[in-house]
Structure 1
Amino acid sequence: MTRRRRRFLGAGLVATMLVGGAFALTQYESYTSLYDAAYVGSAACGECHTQVYDQWRNSPHALMVREASRSTVVGDFGDHAWTLPASARRSAADAAPVARMRFDGDVPVMSLLDPSTGAMDDFTIDLVVGFQYRQTYLHREPGGVYRRLPLQWSVARQAFVPYWNFQEGSTPSAADLRAQMFTHNSAWNLFCARCHVTHLDIASKDEHHLVADTSWVEPGIGCEACHGPGSQHVNYFAHNYVNRVAAFVNNKARGEPVAYIASGPKLERGQDLSVCSRCHGPDIMLASTEAYRQYEPGYSREGRINDLSPHFKEYPLQPGRTDPTVECWADGRPKGIGMLFRSFIESACHDGGEARCHDCHDPHMNKLPQKPGLLEASAASNAYCLACHDAYRGAAAIAAHTHHASGTAGSFCYDCHMPREILNLVSGTRRFTRTHMMSSIPDPRSSIRYGVEAAPNACNECHADRSPAWALARMRDWWGDGDVDGSD
């Protein structure tokens, strides 16, 4: 084929695409942002969105809830006995096992001591929740309640832990472990499941949470948990190819919303952030339980809301709570892991900027080993922050701003602006993850006033051998920021 002929055919192809695109823009079906739809399941999404579907289906979001089997259980069920920790034993009898774990064929079983009879009662495990940090075990009762068993597997410890005793700082006992199975919030499919499955539907329940008629579209956090029910979206594109061509132009070139589905970047910011906040901001549920229960992402229909942002700052930030999930530091800064989203809402990146969760986080490939840095900044990069704060690009600019040599600890944005001060007990160990309160550096003045253990600061996180007064003096020398005496 001659070069002239190739150019002619290429020009013809471009012209055809332009004409076809123009035709599509005049012939595609209009759609509305207010609609009703049914859930179709993530597999239906995968028919078209093949690449992102393959990424998602191997992610922790997709694998959050699974049927219990030898391949999904990560805890030690090899005829394992569990005894109370030595510190919890009050007599020689307390050294005897209070739980045993085993497989009955391929079915995992947890046996728990009934102190009133001295017998071990068997509880078959029907569902498992989680696998990265810890794993929770659920037993389906005759009344339809999936009961959370009191011992959970800590991946970090490689051991079973009485998780709620650990959370509360209380002493476990055989009687207490048994009692934990009769609390209202141990009925998993009436509480926690809302964030562990896609579209939990509670048809009925009794007041004692012993009987429940519940269902969900699919286990785990599926596509529609974040994008909303997809039947209208699927039908719109399946029956008319012109809609597909027009959508590419409208969505990519014109920035218009995607038809009949919630696509984060196309939503108003409050609606977009609401998708993540529903599960990563439990303080919203505590402040506005009814709004939380009525929420459905991306669109409105009767009895539903799609924007939780009016409630983002509703729950008071106050120190002294005993619930570690929503705990605050002595100066009112968010501390508990349940306040991680709230720490972002209190940040300058939220209030003074346009930051959204997916600017830094990939919800489809969250925490995959082959993609480090998706949910926390890489240990060797300021790339996330420099995408907006371009003035600090380059080694000289970083060194001048941070007073630490580029590439060393203290030169990364998150070392000072996102210190590890969010208490995370999820793994059954006490560790801290990075706050998202990306504003001014957490101030040594609070540490001087309340003590560094009650109000930590970014400087002393690294310089633990120095005093808060020393840290404040360095800040004053570098940025003229405050007085050593701790006054505001």
Structure 2
Amino acid sequence: MNAAATSDHVQGDFSDRTTLRYLGGTGRFWKEGNEFRMTVSRGAVCREFRITRTIGSRYFEYYVGVQTAGPEPAEPADKGAEHVLPFGYWLTRRQWVPTVHIREDRADDFDDPRLNPYEGFYFRKYDDICGRCHTTLPMADWLARYPEDAGKYSPHRFSMDLTGYLKGQRPDLLQAPVEQMPTEELEKVMQGLMSNRPPAPVLHLGIVCEACHNGCKQHVADPEHAPPHFFPTSPLIYAELPAEKPHGRSHANVNWICGRCHVGVRPLFPGGMSTWNSAEYSDAMRGSCYSKLRCVDCHNPHQATGPVWAHSADHDDASCLKCHAAYREAKARQAHTHHAPGSAGDRCMNCHMPRVNEGLDRVVRTHTISSPSKAVIIENNGPNACNLCHLERPIDWTLGYLRDWYGRNYRESAIARNYRPRAEPVGRIWLKHGFRATRLVAAAAYARRKNPDILPLLLTILDDKYLLNRQFGQLAVEELSGQSLDKWRYSFLLSPDERAPVLPRVQKALAPGSRVQKKTQGEVIDANK
């Protein structure tokens, strides 16, 4: 999650002044003694950073650092502040890349010469946003600084004695005894706290026991008799708690622990699913299963997930069937799914949690558990579970089965408006969709189907104006063709002008009838089986 930038933690390539060329500028990465360094320069603009921390360790490693040189004033007001740096390291591909999802407006993902890490460098202080979830803070400091996050999904109404907190924990922030301070001055102190000024003290880099168990000081002192807490407890906390297990391992308490961080505002697909990751709890709350389901029923918080989901499809089905016992028998389940036992269409999550969420370097399952026949998804041409497998089928084919199997009917006016041309395979419509996240999801779905016939159309995403679409598009094209696009000097990092001479070479090499295409024809998956 977050670690000190030491040799035993840093995984990026800092050997011999490694460089990255991006948008006419250069990122340089090297080690100076025991310190890791990064410069970001284009033309006369050059900034140098001393790297202090890392973020992430599975797919990408991002970096946090202090600026040591640059065009800013020699003594800026926030001198010494640690910023999220503009380049990170893609561990699975062993390459430097620009960081994304750092700006709220996602301007770091868009072809626009005004948006760049040089003249347009975006100063994102780590402690202001990232630290609340990637670093373990004292529980009282977390609650005081992030009351909206604390209260939005809390299972119980509670309040905190902020005066007592300031007197007991942060007397250094008070210019006089609380009783003598004007209300306006106290309000300024609290506004500063909620703006993380000064930054909260750090207990641990990364996430450790205290982050989830609300401090657990008593448990550490007496582990045999004082169990860890799943809801904050303190003389400063006033809460309307149930009589049974008020601080225990209840469904509501456990899920709220996850919900304190795995939430966020994202662009949404029709149906309300987030388009990109780290908002799993927000998504989960949009479905009904979490009235009983706990996050820990599927995820072990004390074990790392690893680079890929380790559980088998049978294991995942069993998680659903604990509650949906009526479908445990294969015959009953087939009557519900209308697919052969053990097939892709028979798997609970393929239909009710399809892969529509942009993960770090793969598209992963949404945590909004919903019906694949949901009208708002079908009518508004959102990525629906049926056509994510049956990409080659038109929407009327899908509507026919949803009508015959489940008695569902949809507004003809909406279907006619949102599926054009109507007879075209839905997957092809998605690749040309006006919503960028749909194009990304479609490219990944075609890669999973492993049908190279789509390559000519799929190649269009390599020129998409959104960097992340090109990134996932490159992964999809390489998966389908079995070829690294480095061979033709293509990279998703290229600017529009840099892509212009490269794309024709890629299109020619991967055109129908080419030697590359012929090599891939032997491995085709029939999505209808």
TM over 0.5, shorter chain: yes
Pick from 393, 407, 411: which aligns with 1:480? 407
Query: Which amino acid is the alignment partner of residue 396 of structure 1?
Result: K
Query: Which amino acid is the alignment partner of residue 159 of structure 1?
Result: Q
CA RMSD of aligned residues (A): 3.8
Q: What is the distance in 2 between the residues matched to 1:367 and 1:72? A: 18
Quick one: structure 1 residues 356 and 487, their matched pair in 2 at CA, closer, same or farther if it must change by over 3 Å?
same
Pick from 263, 277, 282: which aligns with 2:259? 277
Q: What is the distance in 1 between the residues matched to 2:260 and 2:66? A: 26
Quick one: structure 1 residues 461 and 440, their matched pair in 2 at CA, closer, same or farther if it must change by over 3 Å?
same
Q: What is the distance in 2 between the residues matched to 1:331 and 1:356? A: 22
Pick from 154, 163, 166: which aligns with 2:90? 154
1:481 to partner: Cα distance: 1.9
Query: Which amino acid is the alignment partner of residue 135 of structure 2?
Result: V
Pick from 273, 279, 286: which aligns with 1:346? 286
Quick one: structure 1 residues 138 and 189, their matched pair in 2 at CA, closer, same or farther if it must change by over 3 Å?
same
Structure 2 residue 375 is matched with structure 1 residue 435: no
Pick from 312, 326, 338: which aligns with 1:403? 338
- Point out which structure has higher relative CO (alpha carbons under 8 A, 6+ apart): 1
1:346 to partner: Cα distance: 1.2
Structure 2: unaligned runs, 5 residues or longer: 68-77, 146-169, 174-188, 235-240, 416-529
8 Å contact kept, 1:99–1:110: yes
Correspondence for 2:396 = 469
Correspondence for 1:134 = 60
Q: What is the distance in 2 between the residues matched to 1:127 and 1:225? A: 19
Q: What is the distance in 1 between the residues matched to 2:112 and 2:96? A: 13
Aligned length: 342
1:150 to partner: Cα distance: 0.6
Correspondence for 1:450 = 380
8 Å contact kept, 1:75–1:135: yes
8 Å contact kept, 1:101–1:111: yes
Query: Which amino acid is the alignment partner of residue 280 of structure 1?
Result: H
- Paired residues for 1:216-255 under 5 Å: 216-235=202-221, 237=222, 243=225
Q: What is the distance in 1 between the residues matched to 2:113 and 2:28? A: 15
Quick one: structure 1 residues 211 and 345, their matched pair in 2 at CA, closer, same or farther if it must change by over 3 Å?
closer
- Paired residues for 1:237-386 under 5 Å: 237=222, 243=225, 266-283=248-265, 326-330=266-270, 332-350=272-290, 353-368=291-306, 372-373=310-311, 378=313, 381-386=316-321
Per-residue deviation, residues 9-59 of structure 1 (Å, max 9, x unmatched):
xxxxxxxxxxxxxxxxxxxxxxxxxxxxxxxxxxxxxxxxxxxxxxxxxxx
Q: What is the distance in 1 between the residues matched to 2:20 and 2:114? A: 11
Pick from 65, 84, 96: which aligns with 2:2? 65
Q: What is the distance in 1 between the residues matched to 2:404 and 2:59? A: 42
1:267 to partner: Cα distance: 4.4
- Paired residues for 1:143-182 under 5 Å: 143-164=79-100, 167-168=106-107, 169-171=109-111, 176-178=116-118, 181-182=121-122
TM score, norm. by length of structure 1 = 0.61
Pick from 215, 219, 228: which aligns with 2:201? 215
Per-residue deviation, residues 354-412 of structure 1 (Å, max 9, x unmatched):
11111111111130369813xxx747641110111112113222222211111111111
Correspondence for 1:5 = none
Quick one: structure 1 residues 333 and 260, their matched pair in 2 at CA, closer, same or farther if it must change by over 3 Å?
closer
SS in 2 for 1:140: strand
Structure 1: unaligned runs, 5 residues or longer: 1-63, 89-93, 284-325
Structure 2 residue 339 is matched with structure 1 residue 414: no
